[in-house]
């Protein structure tokens, strides 16, 4: 893809403002938007997702007006060839955590750090009780706390096992993340927040099937690679694909339908090409390729 195909922007929905875009020809003249790069990391694990956007030569007055801590920010990317159908989508959504600026040579550089669900992960707490020790209700109480306190929407709440301890569980300011960790550990489930939506699902079930079939003709670059922490593929940017979704890969080596564990993106509307990397596990495998070993034990007696 050439620089004139690649699109990248950061949007602040509350203000209706977009910074970035794609390079265009206007007659013989090249119209260039502000140079912008971004790195995004999305994981099926419960720890918050992070992104960082770098913007070159935005005026200080505009930067201070547009970018403020705790505002919702969206990263959009893809390909926008002139005269052809665009393939652009939402890559990352979260709250601005930090803004810094520096001078690098002749450039004024702004760096915007964005977290997806980070505030809810750190601060949401539960003050309530689960009658009869119903762990599904416990998960819903944690989800409600995240929504009421930090605006995290509730997606799917489905546990791998239905467990009721028979004894009321009382929560006195317990962190939602700890409640969810305990519930998931006891019920063979997992949870994560992606794009401001909390999902709790059985370990070996996906939130959604993307319906995509990746081949060299539809965006697969090279062959699947076995690494120390999983199977990895590189593709063109695929909008609207998230961790914990299913995707089908058809390649000379490593064909099948898989559960996406991790997506890493390096995006630019100016230098080099977009880089989109996915790691995944076999849908039939009961072990994750790269599990997080926290050593945590459930405090729920079952």
What is the model's pLDDT at position 224?
86
The structural architecture, per CATH, of the domain 119-202 is: 3-Layer(bab) Sandwich (3.55)
Structure-token pair, residue 99:
């803004």
Helix (H, G, I), strand (E, B) or coil at 169: strand
Res. 258 pLDDT band, cuts 50 70 90: confident
Domain ranges of the chain: 6-116, 119-202, 208-282
Structural contact between residues 117 and 193, judged by C-beta atoms closer than 8 angstroms? yes
pLDDT digits (tens, 9 = 90+) for 120-144: 999 999 999 999 999 999 999 999 9
- Cβ neighbors of 126 (< 8 A, separation 6 or more) are 141, 142, 145, 171, 173, 174, 175, 176, 179
Look at residue 293 and tell me whether its pLDDT is greater than 60.
no
φ and ψ at 252, to 5 degrees?
Answer: -60, -35
Res. 23 pLDDT band, cuts 50 70 90: confident
On the 0-12 / 13-18 / 19+ scale of CB atoms within 10 A, 282 is middle
Average pLDDT of the residues in 83-87 = 71
Among the listed ranges 1-10, 124-133, 184-193, which one has the minimum average pLDDT value? 1-10
Element (H, E) at 220: strand 220-227
pLDDT digits (tens, 9 = 90+) for 229-251: 668 899 989 888 999 999 888 88
The DSSP code sequence of 88-132 is: EEEEEEEEEEEEEEEEETTEEEEEEEEEESHHHHHH-EEEEEEGG
Report which DSSP code applies to 134: B
Cα–Cα distances in angstroms (integers) from residue 228 to residues 165, 231, 235, 256, in the given order: 39, 9, 20, 20
pLDDT digits (tens, 9 = 90+) for 31-66: 788 999 999 999 999 999 999 999 999 999 999 889
Structural contact between residues 51 and 196, judged by C-beta atoms closer than 8 angstroms? no
Average pLDDT of the residues in 181-204 = 95
What is the model's pLDDT at position 145?
98
Res. 280 pLDDT band, cuts 50 70 90: confident
Structure-token pair, residue 269:
């509307």
């Amino acid at each position: 893809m050439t620089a004139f195909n690649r699109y990248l922007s950061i949007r602040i929905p509350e203000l209706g403002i977009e910074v970035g875009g794609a390079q265009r020809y206007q007659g013989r003249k090249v119209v260039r938007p502000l140079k912008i790069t971004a790195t995004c990391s999305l994981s099926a694990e419960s720890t918050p997702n992070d992104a960082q956007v770098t913007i070159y030569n935005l005026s200080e007055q505009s930067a201070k007006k547009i970018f403020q801590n705790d505002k919702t920010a969206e990263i959009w990317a893809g390909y926008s060839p002139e005269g052809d159908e665009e393939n652009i989508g939402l890559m990352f959504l979260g709250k601005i955590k930090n803004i810094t600026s520096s001078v690098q040579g002749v450039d004024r550089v702004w760096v915007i750090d964005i977290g997806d669900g980070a505030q809810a992960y750190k601060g949401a707490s539960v003050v309530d009780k689960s009658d009869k020790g119903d762990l599904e209700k416990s998960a819903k109480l944690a989800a409600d706390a995240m929504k009421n306190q930090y605006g995290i929407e509730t997606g799917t709440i489905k546990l791998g096992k239905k467990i009721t301890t028979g004894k009321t569980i009382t929560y006195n300011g317990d962190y939602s993340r700890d409640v969810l960790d305990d519930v998931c550990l006891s019920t063979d489930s997992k949870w994560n927040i992606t794009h401001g939506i909390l999902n709790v699902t059985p370990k070996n079930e996906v939130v959604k099937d993307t319906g995509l079939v990746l081949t060299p003709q539809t965006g697969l670059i090279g062959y699947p690679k076995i690494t120390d922490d999983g199977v990895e593929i590189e593709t063109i940017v695929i909008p609207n694909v998230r961790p914990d979704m299913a995707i089908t890969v058809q390649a000379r080596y490593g064909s099948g339908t898989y559960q996406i564990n991790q997506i890493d993106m390096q995006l630019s509307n100016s230098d080099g090409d977009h880089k989109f990397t996915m790691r995944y596990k076999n849908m039939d495998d009961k072990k994750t390729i790269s599990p997080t070993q926290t050593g945590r034990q459930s405090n729920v007696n079952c």
